[in-house]
Amino acid sequence: MDSFRAADGRALAYRVLGSGPMLVCHPGGPGFSGAELDDLGGLSAHRTLVILDPRGTGGSDSAADYSLGGYAHDLEALRKHLGLEPMDLLGFSHGAIVAIVYAARYPDGVGKLVLAGGIAVMTDETQHFAAQIIDSMAGAPWHADAVAALAEEESGDIDDLSALWQREAPLYFARWDESYRPRMAAAAAGSNGTPLLEFNRDGFDVRGELAAISAPTLVIAGREDFICGPPAAAEIANGIATSRTVLLEGTGHMMFVEQPEAFRDAVASFLAGGS
């Protein structure tokens, strides 16, 4: 694990794995460390992944706030620390929201941009889609507890984010398999509920940032992702003139776990020459 200093002096940690040109990666949550991303479905065979532990997670110091602008400032500090002019950037889930803000406010800092499982705003359409997907899973033995855990999160009961996530996790897959359980436990290592509590309390809407993004952008999502699926992907892609969209079949939100080869190949192809 390596580290650097943010603009305000906080220590931020990151890990480096793989080979090839660097790809800076920001995980989701908010409140998840870089452990969530593992090796992004084998993408480390094509790229040197620089995986950040966002503020307050993993080996990174906590911060006075967990605003999207604050996360974007941390990414700029990491880019300067790495000496990248510019950097290729991948944001997953909440990390994709951060990456949208970063790419809009620091356009010269981004080479290529990958927005994986992202969402610009919660709309009636995205909420309706979420309800449909969740209802379609109602026969599963884990369904009632996962839905209850999601309701606990939305109500602000996030004292133990790791335990809550492991109860919710099946909802984030198109086809849940108990073999995923250890991987989901590892994904929550170094997590912190405070950023998620603030995010849920304050809400978000980054649609106004989309038109300012000029970097070639890949919008990639699972077709059965209940929260960041096709409606969310379309909202983002419609706002970014330089974007292209890939919807992966047979996967929910955790696409690099459920369909690792398809995810890896789509991202690697885009970074190698897609526009």
Q: What integer best gives the mean pLDDT of the chain?
A: 97
Q: Which of 58, 117, 53, 121 is nearest to 254 (CA)?
A: 117
Residue range 146-190, pLDDT digits in tens: 999 999 999 998 989 999 999 999 999 999 999 999 999 999 999
Count of Cβ atoms closer than 10 Å to residue 118 Cβ: 26
- For residue 254, being part of any structural domain is answered with yes
* Domain total in the chain: 1
Q: Assess if residue 153 is contained within a domain.
A: no
Q: How far apart are CA 145 and CA 142, in angstroms?
A: 6
Region 2-10 average pLDDT: 95
pLDDT in tens, 200-245: 999 999 999 999 999 999 999 999 999 999 999 999 999 999 999 9
pLDDT at residue 274, as a whole number = 53
**Residue range of the domain that includes 229:** 2-123+196-272
**Residue 144 pLDDT:** 98
| 104 within domain boundaries | yes
Confidence of residue 275 (pLDDT cuts 50, 70, 90): very low
The mean per-residue pLDDT over the stretch 248-260 comes to 98
- Output the domain CATH number for residue 218: 3.40.50.1820
Q: What is the mean pLDDT of residues 105-118?
A: 98
159 falls within a domain? no
Q: Among 259, 248, 244, 245, which Cα is nearest to 224's?
A: 248
Task: Report the 10 Å Cβ neighbour count for 112.
Answer: 23
In a domain, 88, yes or no: yes
pTM value is 0.97
Q: Is residue 144 part of a domain?
A: no
Model confidence at 110: pLDDT above 90: yes
Q: Is residue 137 part of a domain?
A: no
List of residues 6+ apart from 151 with CB closer than 8 A: none
Q: Looking at the domain assignment, is residue 243 inside a domain? A: yes
